[in-house]
Structure 1
Amino acid sequence: MRASGSAAGQSSEQTIELEGRVIAFTLRRSSRRSIGFTISRTGLAVTAPRRVSERDIRRALVTKAGWILTKLDAWAARPAAPDLVLETGASLPWLGGELTLELRGEGVRTTVRREGDQLVLKHDPDLAGELRTRTLTKALQRFYKREGEALMTPRVEAYADQLGKPVRKVIIREQKRRWGSCASDATIRLNWRLMGFPEDLIDYVCAHEAAHLVEANHSPAYWRVVERLMPDWKPRRQRMREEADRWVAF
């Protein structure tokens, strides 16, 4: 799972040769105390303290080369998340289950609403080509974001209340590399794609980010905070790592 540290800093795209392979990675600077490595379907991401030189970062990458290459290969072998099919009858993941998409070419406004196990998307029947794809995709994203805000905001706030820490704001947004993040100003950002996941895993991400209100890093002290909120966090985290692709919407 991609989990957050502290506030996001500037990032850059770089490459390094590890055991004869050229590996691309994203380097992001932050206020964290140590260098962190995260690998997902989008590749390798490195988060490093602002004071650490690029030379030291590259040394750390070489030291972790075996682990990095093994993880990258494992991700490459996993099946890709399904492409979005914009046709009536297509399935979209929803809270660990599925909704069936129904397209209705009527009216001029693009709207999305849930009707039981169906997701009804009304659109201008004259839409075609790339404009149609972009318009319908954005409408579905807005639906997931709207529902995500309604579901996840109170859960984050409830975990924060347990810790006695206020949340400045919860933002549901597009995040390709992270499921969630917690900034130093107590703003928590969550990926709208989480709405495809079972609710117990959504809860895990909400608790994970709320715990960063107390501990900004992933130290042993941080994981003790997580355990206070969720004693069974370990199997949930493992499921996130192993099965996340099953529930990614698009």
Structure 2
Amino acid sequence: MASRWSASHDAWRFRCGSSESRSERGGCIIIRDEAALKVRGRGSEFRHGEPEHHVVSVDGLALTVLLRRGARRTLSLRVDERGTRVDAPRGAAIDSIEGFVREHADWIQRHVARIAQARTEAAIEIADGIRLDLFGESCVVRLVAGRRTAGWGDDEMAILLLPAASPLPALERAVRNHARQWFERRVRFHCERLGEPSPPVALSSARRRWGSCSRRSGIRLHWKLALLPVALADYVVAHEVAHLREMNHSSRFWALVAGLYPDWRAARAALRARAGCLPEFVTAADTGGMPGVESR
């Protein structure tokens, strides 16, 4: 296939947008951690086919990409934490696709390395005696032999006891429980200020969203917000509560956000800077399986 190549662009993007469907309008804050590059190619009238994994040889190295064909006029590369994806016109020849990948191999490797570094920086290694911040409050983690569940060692929630044999599942459950209670309090607080009834609050572990709001199901908030600075978590709560009245991102919406959280611009910028750094609990044994992660 003869392709026409146009100037490519290199984007490491975070987007704050709204989620809307025919049956329901909603608002969300989206986590976006990806690099995208496009070139112009021939189009097609066919819909997307099933994606397939394809191995491209680049200077003797095997690079695995997910190839997806469909009704489009461009070839594009997308790199995120799940891997490298190529979107191609239905009729694009495999030689042209492989040539496209080889031509941009340096670009791919650069962003793969960038994502690996982000994972390294986001890793929280759990060991006996470490300090863990939850919504800005510090607690000491203690690994206890023979213990089966997580628990707090005192009334001040300053000591978190975890089973030494399998600390990570217990830790996640403890953080989730703490996050749910904190979110419910902050949602009630902001709803009272806005004069809106408090909706149901649920936890999320979505790959792409810090939070979302729906008139049907209420507010969903990512449990890992507990591991971020408390100001950022509270901004996300205020943002979603504002969507209870304005299911959009109009000037009216941002005026509501400003009333609930005056320093929202700084908080939004800080969230954007953290795109790609979703915190991840690991143990010393786990770090061997994470590229670039060293024990610390």
Q: TM-score range by the shorter chain?
A: 0.5 to 0.7
Partner of 2:246: 215
User: Deviation of residue 31 (structure 1)?
Assistant: 4.8
User: Tell me, what secondary structure is at the counterpart of 1:215?
Assistant: coil
1:137–1:169 CA distance, 2 compared to 1 (3 A): same
The question of 1:169 aligning with 2:200 is answered: yes
Q: Hey, what does 2:229 align to over in structure 1?
A: 198
Answer yes or no: is the 8 Å Cα contact 2:32–2:208 preserved in 1: yes
What RMSD, in angstroms, separates the aligned Cα atoms of the two structures?
4.2
Q: Give the whole-Å Cα distance in 2 for the aligned partners of 1:94 and 1:110.
A: 19
- After TM superposition, give the deviation of residue 117 of structure 1 in Å: 4.3
Give 1:112's aligned residue: 151
Tell me if structure 2 keeps the 8 A contact 1:188–1:209. Answer: yes
> Do the aligned partners of 2:204 and 2:211 also contact (CA within 8 Å) in 1?
no
**Is 1:236 aligned to 2:267, yes or no?**
yes
Q: Distance in 1 between matches of 2:23 and 2:30?
A: 14
Unmatched 5+ stretches in structure 2: 1-13, 37-46, 49-70, 79-106, 282-296
| Alpha-carbon distance, 1:114 to partner | 5.2
Residue of structure 2 in register with 1:41 after alignment: 33
Alpha carbons of 1:183 and 1:114: their partners in 2 closer, same or farther (altered >3 Å)?
A: farther
| Cα displacement (A) at 1:32 | 5.2
Moved over 6 A (4+): 244-247
What fraction of aligned residue pairs are identical, expressed as a percent?
31
Per-residue CA distance 1:198-248 (angstroms, 9 max, x = gap): 222221111000011011122222112211222221111111211467783
Distance 1:227 1:218, change over 3 A: same
Residue number in structure 1 paired with 2:290: none
The letter of the residue matching 1:5 is: S
The structure whose residues are more often helix, as a share, is: 1
- Matched residues in 2 for 1:77 and 1:86: separation? 19
Matched residue type, 2:129: G
Residue of 18, 34, 37 corresponding to 1:5? 18
Rg comparison, structure with higher value: 2
Counterpart residue number, 2:132: 92
Unaligned runs of 5+ in 1: 10-28, 45-53
2:18 aligned counterpart, secondary structure:
coil
Q: 1:182 aligns with which of 189, 194, 213?
A: 213
Counterparts in 2 of 1:39-188, with a 5 A limit? 40-41=32-33, 76=115, 79-80=118-119, 81-96=121-136, 98-107=138-147, 109-113=148-152, 115=154, 117-121=158-162, 123=163, 127=165, 132=166, 136-185=167-216, 187-188=218-219
